[in-house]
Structure 1
Amino acid sequence: MGLSTDDIMQLSLDLVDWDDVPGDSTTYVPGEDIESALVGIDLESPELQLANDQDFDLALAHHPAGDEARLEFTEVLDKQVEFMTNHGVPEDVAEEAAQGIRDNAEYGAHAANYRHNPSVAELLDQPYMNIHLAPDELGRRLFVEVVEELTADATVADLKAAFNDAFPEIRNAATDIETRVGDDANEVGEVAVHHAAGTNGGADVARAYFEHGVDTVIYIHVSAIDAAELREEFAGEEKNLVVTGHIASDAVGLNVLVDALEGEGVECTTFSGCDL
């Protein structure tokens, strides 16, 4: 007897010791007796047809694809504030830094066709779900473990080498770890891993870290505009923004979930980024 979609969601929560399903994760079409799953970073309408054509019991996406997971996405952005305050950023400063991210997420969700992908799955009667924050949290914890093993005088180059050594998903990716602000020769100093907060923090969150004692911020992605703004503002201050790569970094945590599912007897076929 296979797992249900409820079982799979609960498994993801158990892996991070959480009680409640985050707002960015949901089941669009429930399923029972799941013994096979098509798993990827992004599964939308074409991939749902593929899953249905190839008789997969479940289509399991990482990124939110519609309905509640998009409309309630702003709930998980409280993690932005939590991570900043954990590194000494005053709460009022952290709240202000995160406000633009919240606004962008809310406006974007309001404008999106949040019914598109779920409605396709419903017509196909294809069990379909996405699990976003819990795998990202698994990845974040692994990132923190690597950071904590760095020596006191470690450089940005040392940090990048350590991540490549630790994570085959990052090592094998077509993208490289990039130093978007700062220099590889700089010491990393105080490091903040800003991952598993819904999305990257942009210039505002990195600035809040830099202005309150953090020397190196790790994002998994950042825009060119935000990076340029930070480079100009912190030129000569040996502040570093290291970007590990969006899809490769998502795969780190998602593959932990895949391993757990396979341990429960669900045969997983990975693609769309988590097959690195």
Structure 2
Amino acid sequence: MGLSTDEIMQISLDLVDWDDTPADSTVYVPGEDVETALVGIDLESPEIQLAHDLGYDLALAHHPTGMSARLDFPEVLDTQVEFMTEHGVPEDVAEDAVADLRSRMDHGGHSSNYRHDPSVAELLGQPYLNTHLAPDEYGRRVFREVADDLDDDATAGEFVDALAAIPELDAADTDVLLRLGDRDNGLGEVAVHHAAGTNGGASVARAYFEHGVDTVLYIHVGAGDTAELREEFADAGKNLVVTGHIASDAIGMNAVIDALEARGVECDTVSGCGIGREN
């Protein structure tokens, strides 16, 4: 007997000891007796069709596509504020730093075709879900452990090298990059800003830097944000480490796959999952 989609969602939450499903994670088309799954970072209509045509019991995505995951996504951004205040950023400053991002996500969700991919899965009768925040939280804890294991006098370069040894990052075509700062800079206090829906851009990094954080880790960042931060903090001894989006997402999703296979679900990977994973 296989697993239900609800049980599979719970398995992803169990990786980080959570009970409640986050707003960015949804069972779009429920299913029972799941024994095979096609798993990817992005599974949209073509991949849903592929899963159906190849006879998979489940299409399991990381990134959200459907109604609740898109329209409710701004709720997840509360985590950005939590992360900042944990590092000493005043709450009002943290709220201001994330305000523009929250507005953009709200407007984007309102304008998106949130029914597109789920409706295809419904028409095909293809069980389909995504789990986003919990696998990212798993990855965040991996990054946090790497930072915490370094000596107090570690440099930014040593942090980059330690991160690059994580199997998923080591196997990726992208590199762990120091977008701001020099390898010889002191690492200092590290804020791992992952598992907060998306990166916080220049405004969130700025809030960290202006309130005692020396190094910020993002998994991706825009070129404009990088340019802003370089202009403002070029000589301030601050560091922005960027690990690479898909490889970083694969850390948590590979853990989900391992947990599912331990429960007897046969998983095949596409679209970025499986990077650096030992089969």
Q: Distance in 1 between matches of 2:9 and 2:162?
A: 31
Does 1:34 pair with 2:16? no
Does 1:119 pair with 2:147? no
The amino acid across from 1:217 in the alignment is V
Does 1:50 pair with 2:50? yes
State the TM-score, normalizing by the size of structure 2: 0.97
RMSD: 0.7
Deviations 1:54-95 (A, max 9, x none): 000000000001111111111110000000000010111101
Does 1:236 pair with 2:235? yes
Does 1:213 pair with 2:225? no
Does 1:149 pair with 2:149? yes
* Ranges in structure 2 where 5+ consecutive residues have no aligned partner: none
Q: Distance in 2 between matches of 1:160 and 1:15?
A: 25
Q: Which runs of 4+ in 1 moved over 3 A?
A: none
Task: Return the offset for 1:275.
Answer: 2.0
| Contact 2:41 2:271 survives alignment (8 Å) | yes
Q: Distance in 2 between matches of 1:147 and 1:203?
A: 22
Match of 1:89 in 2: 89
Task: Return the offset for 1:153.
Answer: 1.3
The amino acid across from 1:264 in the alignment is R
Match of 2:198 in 1: 199
Does 1:69 pair with 2:58? no
Q: Distance in 1 between matches of 2:109 and 2:181?
A: 33
Q: Distance in 2 between matches of 1:176 and 1:195?
A: 17
- Percent identity reads 69
Task: Return the offset for 1:15.
Answer: 1.6
State the TM-score, normalizing by the size of structure 1: 0.98
Q: Distance in 1 between matches of 2:243 and 2:209?
A: 18
Does 1:255 pair with 2:254? yes
Deviations 1:167-218 (A, max 9, x none): 1110111110111111112111110000000000000000000000000000
The amino acid across from 1:57 in the alignment is D
Q: Distance in 2 between matches of 1:182 and 1:157?
A: 10
| Contact 2:164 2:175 survives alignment (8 Å) | no
The amino acid across from 2:113 in the alignment is N
- The 5 A counterparts of 1:159-178 are 159-165=159-165, 167-178=166-177
Task: Return the offset for 1:256.
Answer: 0.6
Task: Return the offset for 1:271.
Answer: 1.4
